[in-house]
Each structure stands twice: as structure tokens, then as C-alpha cells.
Amino acid sequence: MREPREAIRAWLDLLGASNAIKKSVDTQLRSEFGVSISRFDILSALERAGPDGLRAGVLSQQLMVTEGNTTQVTAPLIRDGLVKRSTGRKDARIVIFTLTKKGEKLFSIMAAGHKNWVGSVFSDLSKSEIATFRKILRKLNIPGSTTQPGKDAA
């Protein structure tokens, strides 16, 4: 095991950088599109899901939030005509969220901005350095983690 003090410092550095990037992206999304990063994350998950959308429970699992939180964050997206909420064909208790055409168009524009903002954060790193950084993240031993750091999401 490595020196615990250095591991704590590395974790704090990683946490600080991650939080700063998230705050910066959230500020950009709010400024340019009036959408929080939480809402962007929902639009992103629904865009990846395609025309069949996602069941509420699956969406919550992917975002690692409660279904109540998902409902709260999707409500304004539904109100703004970006997301459609429907029930299952065979079981009306099942809630399914899908992107509307308006949501697809807006997300496409937002995703391009997001890509540029995140890209600018890493602009001083070479391709090799980014690859090494991702390799190191994948080596982290995170108990109980169901996700793989560094896995391609985009």
C-alpha cells in the first residue's frame, strides 16, 4: 500500500480538479443554454438511449441518483418540450423518458459546446499524456464501483 498521506493528497487533487471542471461546465451550460449540468446529463443519457428512451429506473441508475431526483430534474425538461414522459405499452406503471425532436436538436448543439469546453481543460496535455491519465484512472481500486473510470462515455 502506498503512503496514505500521498494517496489523500492525490485524491484531494483529483476531487478538486473534477469539481472545478464540473462547475465550469455547469456555468457554461447555464450561461449559453439555461440548462444545468444535471439536465444536460439526462439529455445525454436519453440521446445515447435512442428512440426507445429509458425507463425511469434505468435512467436513475445510469445517473447514480434516486428516481425522485430524476423526476425532479426531468420535470422542467418535459415542460420545455425537450423530453417526453410516457408509460409502458404493456405496463402503465412503467415510466419511459425519451428525447423530443426539439430536445435532440438542442442537445446536439449543447454537446458540441460541452466537447469544446472539456477539450479546452485538457488542451495543454498531449494525446499520450491523456492516454496515460486515463490508464491511471482505470487502475484505481474503487470498492463497490459499478463504473469504470476512464471508460468511453462519448
Work out the average pLDDT over 36-56.
94
- For 74, the domain range is 21-139
Q: Are strands 54-55 and 83-87 parallel, antiparallel or unpaired?
A: unpaired
Other CB atoms within 10 Å distance of the CB of residue 41: 16
What CATH number should be reported for the domain holding residue 49? 1.10.10.10
Q: What grid cell was written down for 106?
A: 438542442
d(CA 140, CA 149): 8
Average pLDDT over residues 107-117: 95
Q: Assess if residue 147 is contained within a domain.
A: no
Would residue 124 count as lying in a domain?
Answer: yes
Rounded mean pLDDT of 44-48?
A: 96
pTM (two decimals): 0.82
Range in 4-13, 93-102, 139-148 the model is least confident about: 139-148
Residue 47 lies in a domain: yes
Q: Residue 82: pLDDT above 60?
A: yes
Total structural domains within the chain: 1
